[in-house]
Amino acid sequence: MQQRRDASAPLGVFDSGLGGLTVARALRHALPNESIIYLGDTARVPYGTRSAETVIRYARGCARLLVERGVKGLVIACNTVSAVAVELLRAELDLPVLGVVEPGARTAVRALSELVATERPARIGVLGTVGTVASGAYPRAVAQLSTRFECVAQAAPLLVPLVEEGWLDGQVPRLVIDRYLEPLIAAEVSVIVLGCTHYPLLAPLIAERAAALAGRGVPIVDSAAATADAVRDWIAEERILPTDRAQRGDLELLVTDRPESFRAVASRFLGDEVAAVNVVDLKPG
């Protein structure tokens, strides 16, 4: 049985790098009084091209550090980790663990249910890392929510390097995105889930290219807001909202490498509340 959590303790959020900042931003918006410790494992990014065993090992290292910092719950702001390690971390850790796959799948199913009013089947397209696609986590999550919808998942391994390098516009990302979108558009998907927390930084271009290739607008689903909603529901249920509602929660940023370049992106992304970014060492998982 889990212990009663300290309401004033921070939330722990982790990702392989800076992609999880999309989730951190949504959490800051949905839960402004919550304090957050964000950990980006920038010394080992990307996770999405690694084996499930290695991702699990790295995820354990990240989780352990945040647990030692006394967080009241863990938000896995990384689809690859959510896809292969969320059940395992839940079993191993004595605190709530929330991933991004299930909230993202639920948002897609809801969006599709609104779009496809009739009972005919329809397809959900997923862009994800090699690890996320190989895990089959999205088809499983969608199947648990609805039998009407089929999932078509496409691995998009070059998108994380593009985002990490800041190539968010122009001919190269456009061509790379086209190459990954083509099988989804050919499969006539009605909605596309960004199944990696890095991808929302490319969302405008992905939406533009999907519309151009499909000849019609294709709704793009980002799991960040859905995940923040899930975290808010859990906090309300557990009654562990911070007592001081007047105070803005703290934000602590930790990385395992290159704090300066992380800080630059985080500042652009989270606004002026980004102070120092500190480097931590992770024990081997």
Which residues have a catalytic role annotated? Answer: 78, 196
Secondary structure class of 76 (helix, strand, coil): strand
Task: Please state the closest distance from residue 254 (CB atom) to a second copy, in A.
Answer: 15
Sign (positive or negative) of CA dihedral 52, 53, 56, 61 = negative
Contact call for residues 154 and 123 (beta carbons, < 8 A): no
Sign (positive or negative) of CA dihedral 183, 189, 194, 199 = positive
Q: Of 45 and 100, which CB lies nearer to a second copy in the complex structure?
A: 45
Q: Of 170 and 215, which CB lies nearer to a second copy in the complex structure?
A: 170
- Here the tokens at position 142 are 């969608």
Task: Please state the closest distance from residue 279 (CB atom) to a second copy, in A.
Answer: 9
H-helix segments, 116-214: 130-135, 137-145, 159-165, 171-186, 203-214
Q: Of 153 and 191, which CB lies nearer to a second copy in the complex structure?
A: 153
Task: Please state the closest distance from residue 175 (CB atom) to a second copy, in A.
Answer: 5
DSSP state of 33: T
List of residues contacting a second copy (CB under 8 A):
42-44, 49-51, 53-54, 157-158, 161-162, 164-165, 167, 171-172, 175-176, 179, 256-258, 283-284
Task: Please state the closest distance from residue 160 (CB atom) to a second copy, in A.
Answer: 8
Q: How many residues does the chain have?
A: 285
Q: Of 216 and 283, which CB lies nearer to a second copy in the complex structure?
A: 283
Secondary structure class of 17 (helix, strand, coil): coil
Task: Please state the closest distance from residue 149 (CB atom) to a second copy, in A.
Answer: 30
Q: Of 131 and 249, which CB lies nearer to a second copy in the complex structure?
A: 131
Start-to-end CA distance of the chain, whole Å, equals: 24
Task: Please state the closest distance from residue 282 (CB atom) to a second copy, in A.
Answer: 8
Ordered DSSP codes for 93-138: SSS-EE-SHHHHHHHHHHHHHHH--SS--EEEEEEE-HHHHHHTHH
Query: What does the alpha-carbon distance between residue 276 and residue 141 come to, in Å, rounded to a whole number?
Result: 37
Secondary structure class of 187 (helix, strand, coil): coil
Q: Of 179 and 248, which CB lies nearer to a second copy in the complex structure?
A: 179
CA neighbor of 107 nearest in space, from 115, 119, 117: 115
